[in-house]
């Protein structure tokens, strides 16, 4: 019997994106899948497509990325817990390949290959950052991708939080995301802690999703401040 999967999605006034993602999930027709949608700001809830089990919760105050998904995890019932950004689109079912990878007890988190709207791979699989690599990226001297595109599953240092799949017991053992990161670098920190605990981090090219990237830290001063604060916290924590 297929493992039950709980998907956690957090909306920041992203109703249209969430509705598109829910429609994609419903179109997959996958049994044993339920969705928790957290409305992080005051907004109208998304329409729920027929046949999809969706639990919608509204925050009285804004929470960070990690706090929202940790709260959703405590409501989740699935043996696999998946974190998805609202701007992910699913044109094929990625869950089977990810669930198969997670049957290996050595694997702590599995992620799909993430491509942009043009079908080009994004930098969702990366090496752990350092002052040197961050400076190279800032100066435009870093390669676009830390890892070459390959056909077989591989083990990057960390995978981006736009789509992550965990076995329930592993996410619980890690105490989920570190909520001291309000936004950004929660994924880097959790992958680092998984590796320190002996788990592998896997990217599965056979599971492919599309990311309609917003890159708000490049245009919003508030998001840029959150990004810089998270970078600083991560570097100091090392």
- pLDDT, residue 203, reads 98
Judge contact between 49 and 28, C-beta under 8 A: no
Digit-coded pLDDT (tens) for 97-112: 999 999 999 999 999 9
Total domains, the chain: 1
Give 217's pLDDT tier (boundaries 50, 70, 90): very low
- pLDDT, residue 231, reads 80
Structural domain for 10, as ranges: 5-237
Cα 166 to Cα 202: distance, rounded to the nearest angstrom: 11
Q: 79-93, 130-144, 181-195: which has the minimum mean pLDDT?
A: 130-144
Domain of 176, CATH number, reads 3.90.550.10
Q: 2-6, 29-33, 119-123, 187-191: which has the minimum mean pLDDT?
A: 2-6
- Average pLDDT along the chain: 92
Cα 97 to Cα 100: distance, rounded to the nearest angstrom: 5
Q: State phi, psi for 119 to the nearest 5 degrees.
A: 90, 5
Q: 70-79, 128-137, 193-202: which has the minimum mean pLDDT?
A: 128-137
Cα 113 to Cα 124: distance, rounded to the nearest angstrom: 8
* For residue 58, pLDDT beyond 60: yes
Residue for token digits 């669930």? 99
């Amino acid at each position: 019997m297929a493992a039950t999967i709980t998907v956690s999605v957090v909306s920041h006034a992203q109703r249209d994106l969430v509705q598109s993602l829910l429609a994609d999930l419903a179109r997959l027709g996958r049994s044993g899948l339920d969705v928790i949608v957290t409305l992080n700001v005051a907004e109208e809830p998304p329409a729920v497509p027929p046949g999809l089990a969706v639990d919608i919760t509204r925050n009285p105050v804004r929470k960070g990325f990690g706090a929202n998904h940790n709260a959703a995890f405590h409501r989740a019932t699935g043996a696999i817990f998946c974190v998805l950004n609202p701007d992910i689109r699913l044109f094929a079912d990625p869950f089977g390949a990810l669930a198969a990878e997670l049957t290996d007890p050595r694997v702590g988190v599995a992620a799909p290959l993430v491509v942009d709207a043009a079908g080009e791979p994004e930098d969702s699989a990366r090496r752990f950052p350092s002052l040197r690599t961050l400076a190279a990226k800032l100066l435009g001297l870093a390669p676009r991708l830390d890892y070459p595109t390959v056909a077989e599953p591989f083990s990057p240092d960390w995978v981006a939080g736009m789509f992550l799949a965990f076995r329930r017991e592993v996410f619980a053992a890690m105490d989920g995301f570190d909520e001291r990161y309000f936004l950004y670098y929660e994924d880097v920190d959790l992958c680092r802690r998984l590796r320190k605990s002996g788990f592998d981090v896997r990217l599965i090219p056979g599971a492919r999703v599309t990311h309609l990237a917003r890159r708000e830290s490049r245009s919003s001063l508030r998001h840029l401040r959150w990004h810089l604060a998270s970078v600083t916290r991560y570097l100091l924590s090392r």
